[in-house]
Amino acid sequence: MINKLLQPEGWLPPKGYANGVAARGTMLFVGGQIGWNAQQQFESDDFIEQCGLALRNIAEVLRAGGAGPEHMVRMTWYVTDRDEYSRRLAELGPVYRDAMGRNFPAMTCVQVAALVEHRAKVEIEVTAVIPD
């Protein structure tokens, strides 16, 4: 593992994220990515499809910086419907792993009233660290 996962003694392990991550190196900050394509066009209004595209967009930005999903240390999700997020977690898992592999950074998910792009249902930002 490139980064060190922080798991306090006696805590139950989290599912699909880390409680904390320790890392050293060059930091990359990926601005919020939404579920549209490289031409900034939405291909779907489906929550899971938008999540998949947003995650693939993140992977592309990481690659442009010389990094990959294994370098992620922090991920923040902004969703417009937390109930849909919770209800569709079983569908989201495979989509996440397809784009990010089994790399689970420290993660936060919050519901927001709206996102800047009217059709967007999710926006995800990432911090990554390429080791020294």
What number is the average pLDDT over the span 89-96? 97
In this structure, are strands 72-79 and 122-130 parallel, antiparallel, or unpaired?
antiparallel
pLDDT digits (tens, 9 = 90+) for 23-45: 999 999 999 999 999 999 999 99
Q: What percentage of the chain reaches a pLDDT higher than 90?
A: 91
pLDDT of 2 = 77
What number is the average pLDDT over the span 107-112? 97
What number is the average pLDDT over the span 62-69? 97
Domain count, the chain: 1
Beta bridge partners of 42: 36
The band of 1, judged by pLDDT with boundaries at 50, 70 and 90, is low
How would you label 50-88 residue by residue, b for 16+ Cβ within 10 Å and e otherwise?
A: bbbbbbbbbbebbeeeebbbbbbbbbbbbbbeeeebeeb
pLDDT of 15 = 87
The band of 121, judged by pLDDT with boundaries at 50, 70 and 90, is very high
For residue 4, is it within any domain? no
- Identify each DSSP E strand in the chain by its residue range: 4-6, 20-22, 26-34, 72-79, 106-111, 122-130
For residue 18, is it within any domain? no
For residue 10, is it within any domain? no
For residue 46, is it within any domain? yes
- CATH number, domain of 78, equals 3.30.1330.40
For residue 51, is it within any domain? yes
pLDDT of 40 = 96
- Backbone φ and ψ of 104, nearest 5°: -125, 95
Beta bridge partners of 33: 124
Contact 31, 101 (CB under 8 A): no
User: Taking all residues of the chain, what is their mean pLDDT, rounded to a whole number?
Assistant: 95
pLDDT of 53 = 98
